[in-house]
Amino acid sequence: MGVQEQYPFDVEAVRADFPILDRKVGGDPESPGEGAGDDTPLVYLDSAATSHTPDAVVDTIADYYRGYNANVHRGIHQLSQEASVAYERAHDTVADFVGASGREEIVFTKNTTEAMNVVAYAWGLEELGPDDNVVLTQMEHHSSLVTWQQIGKRTGADVRFIEVNDEGRLDMEHAAELIDDDTQMVSVVHVSNTLGTVNPIPEIAAMAHDHDAYVFADGAQSVPTRPVDVDDLGVDFLAFSGHKMCGPTGIGALYGREEILAEMQPYLYGGDMIRRVSFEDSTWEDLPWKFEAGTPSIAQGIAFAAAIEYLEAIGMENVQAHEDLLAEYAYDELTALGGVEIYGPPGHDRGGLVAFNVEGVHAHDLSSILNDYGVAIRAGDHCTQPLHDELGVAASARASFYLYNTVEEVDALVEAVGEARDLFA
């Protein structure tokens, strides 16, 4: 059976929902999207940074602006009522998607980074002190690492890092040594955006809860690509971004257990998050609105729900199966090419991305050459500089796959990598 015959759904039908995939590239970057002079088919392998957006989600945004554009929670008139209902129902959709108990546990943010900061500032600054510690991992994205690092500097709390072994997995014995009775928070990336490692969140959560510590999972690379249920993971907080899961930019979500969010003070202050204001004091609105100060990203929030509905129609089990298929195929083909070092676990045991370097070729040069072939990948440290320091490299190239990618596109990647390798040989 060919690899294409193992697709869990009709990939060509899915691709038809994403007109941008029909683009040709190679024209003037000063005139984005115009297509003048473009002649090379686009092979987009950078969805771990930002996925593309299907017509159904774009239409949802347009429908809002054309049909019921109004502020939420501020008007009695019909347009405001319609916008408010749609925006609130979007919270329900997101809650159902990750297994939360209700909209009270879902705070809309700009992205995963802001969700991290909400907890770090609203909870961390209040609860952490010099006798406490926060446990992270060496593979954390900067959104987690930098945030808790800076909170540690402000509060005096110790910030510790679980080591990554030679296979690109967490050293769980080291984790057991670091997590102790002084640990207040364990913040762990669910799927590494560099190594592709799928971390054992339930095991880590159990370990943390044994010491009465909270667990925060960075779901930026997991929620878009596989079934995720907060109860199954055993986490207290989970963060993810809409722009990595067929949604628009500028919208993300923080899941938090209701009893914890209820005790936390707001991170931002202003309109909509208040219940009563006097010259002397203020009281806060119910969850989740007390954490959503000011006019929110209304169109983006509604479209976020539309993106989730799109993914659910395909089935998250199918999305994961397709990503796993492409990641393993890419891992095997790049390995067979020779002269390529791939970081992280083997192809059959990783998320839908492959970070690698080609012998004698800087990752930035490789990305530039691949761009000439129409292949879009990411090159750099992927917001994991300390991890790259541990790997002993300044940068790496990363190809990431999503539900609209094909085996033929992986073949195009491998062919272009081979050409680059030979060019620098």
State the Cα–Cα distance between residues 233 and 254, nearest whole angstrom. Answer: 15
| Nearest to 325, CA basis, from 233, 229, 409 | 409
The structure tokens listed for 173 are 């014995």
One-character DSSP codes across 333-360: HHHHHSSEEEESS-TTSS-SEEEEEETT
Residue 91 contacts residue 108 (beta carbons within 8 Å): yes
The structure tokens listed for 200 are 């054992």
Considering Cα of 216, then 169, then 145, then 93, what sign does the dihedral take?
Answer: negative
Query: Which residue spans within 8-80 are E strands per DSSP?
Result: 24-25, 40-41, 43-44
Active-site pick, 58, 61, 383, 393: 383
Q: How far is the CA of 57 from the CAs of 18, 215, 248, 310, 311, in angstroms?
A: 10, 32, 8, 8, 11
246 part of the active site: no
Burial of 414 (0-12, 13-18, 19+ CB in 10 A): buried
State the Cα–Cα distance between residues 401 and 46, nearest whole angstrom. Answer: 7
- The residue with tokens 């990554």 is 164
Cis? peptide before 288, omega within 30° of 0: yes
Residue 400 bridge partners (DSSP): 46, 353
Residues annotated as catalytic are: 383
